Structure 1
């Protein structure tokens, strides 16, 4: 692959994706700066600028000073309602106000990417375009193979995750057979898994023949440059603690973080990880 001569600004949210994005971009030949939306010490070798979504003009300035040609969003971005309202006002500053400044969901906020593109002249690209090896394949990725019945339940879990994504709620769901146990909300996947553990301890789920399956799917209306579903070794560890024994992700549309460690952890703990495609893709 030809080395890039571009200048890449990485918006770093929470999670393990940001340092992986930096290393992949440097290996591809990009000049890189990181606009960090949360304090972190795991990003090295490049300039890191603390970014505040409450000050979007400073972000635009940082993009322009760096002569940014490409923008990548790496990691989850957690915004309180006040910050969301401010961003929406900024994005719509040339549009007459309807008087409704109600907070909006993450998929709607992803449309703000067009504002960054318009004001900086940079192209928004997905992390998978910089590091395609992060994408989940369509196969058993780690752990024991799922039997046909469990594969059917895993597809049901993925369809459930897709459905709640269509409502702009979250990207993940947990099922037991064809019973929906819980879905991701604003608290994120880790909070969902923790709730499953509590439900299991209360005897409300996970004590029957059907295994607990976690599934993560991209929101149907979500642009591919923003927050693709991702799992890593910590996801596997959390699932083990909660009694979840299988994880399903969308093949080609989800990210595997720290892949070698993820595979080793899942194999060691006996957690099945599988990449599937939904029939309506």
Structure 2
């Protein structure tokens, strides 16, 4: 791949596409990005050699742009606002893809787009190759370890959210005293946490995982300082995330904020979640 030195980025929201583009350029790649109106930060232009602004659903135009830019490898970086995705105006290429889908949930839809790109000779790779420092670490990150009750909640929630994730519904669950308070769906993690706070007040445990069967190239779970701020607002006291398979943004800031508010942050080994009991 390194010989091609031209990378295509399908750029969603947030700072992640900017980080990927910036690091790719540092590695000697020229960058061609497809950005989306009302989603992608306009600052993306400063980190790209070629840029096109698209509307959601313009799959044919996206593919033409990537071919014209001469890229052979493509990364997905950054989320798309899920409720807004219902307002897409698909072109003919996208309509053909959509009618063959059994589900329009995240993994099904994005995997279908990735497959379509592959049929066009465009290889989709994981954006994590350009930002390995963002891979979420295992073990205790905060000063405070999970309490006995929080450990119980983590182990209670783990198989439940794995099952929910396998149905391509969401990546996050909020529990309290071994009862499910909120499950993430289309609204996203932050809103699910806030809803849990409205329903059940303080002492909430948040568990975020990688969906079983999820395509690691296109839709990695993400957390960071904003997640911790949302937890503070909702009264959540513990965040357990699946290590090695999610992106951890602003880690130093997130840990500092968690310590300030006595929140536990812990990375769970997906092969041995029971190890949390030893912390």
- Compute the TM-score of the two structures, normalised by the length of structure 2: 0.84
Which 4+ stretches in 1 moved above 4 angstroms? Answer: 2-5, 81-88, 100-103
How do 1:214-225 residues align onto structure 2 when only pairs under 5 Å count?
214-225=206-217
* Aligned residue among 56, 79, 86 for 1:80: 86
Q: Distance in 2 between matches of 1:126 and 1:213?
A: 30
Q: Match for residue 187 of structure 1?
A: 187
Residues 267 and 118 of structure 1, relative CA distance in 2, 3 Å threshold: same
1:36-76 superposed Cα distances (whole Å, 9 cap, x missing partner): 12242342321432122322111001111111121111122
1:13-38 superposed Cα distances (whole Å, 9 cap, x missing partner): 12332222222222332211221122
Q: Match for residue 40 of structure 1?
A: 41
Q: Distance in 1 between matches of 2:204 and 2:108?
A: 31
Quote the RMSD (CA, aligned, Å): 2.7
How do 1:240-255 residues align onto structure 2 when only pairs under 5 Å count?
240-255=232-247
Q: Distance in 1 between matches of 2:272 and 2:92?
A: 36
Question: Do 1:240 and 1:269's aligned partners in 2 also have CA atoms closer than 8 Å?
Answer: yes
Question: Do 2:60 and 2:93's aligned partners in 1 also have CA atoms closer than 8 Å?
Answer: no
Q: Match for residue 12 of structure 1?
A: 11
Residues 256 and 57 of structure 1, relative CA distance in 2, 3 Å threshold: same
Q: Match for residue 61 of structure 1?
A: 64
Question: Do 1:158 and 1:250's aligned partners in 2 also have CA atoms closer than 8 Å?
Answer: no
Q: Which is further off, 267-276 or 168-177?
A: 267-276
The number of equivalent residue pairs is 265
Residues 180 and 9 of structure 1, relative CA distance in 2, 3 Å threshold: same
Q: Match for residue 116 of structure 1?
A: 117
Does the residue aligned with 2:173 lie in a helix, a strand or coil? strand
Where is the helix percentage greater, Structure 1 or Structure 2?
2
- Compute the TM-score of the two structures, normalised by the length of structure 1: 0.84
Structure 2 unaligned segments of length 5 or more: list them: 274-279
How do 1:19-38 residues align onto structure 2 when only pairs under 5 Å count?
19-37=18-36, 38=39
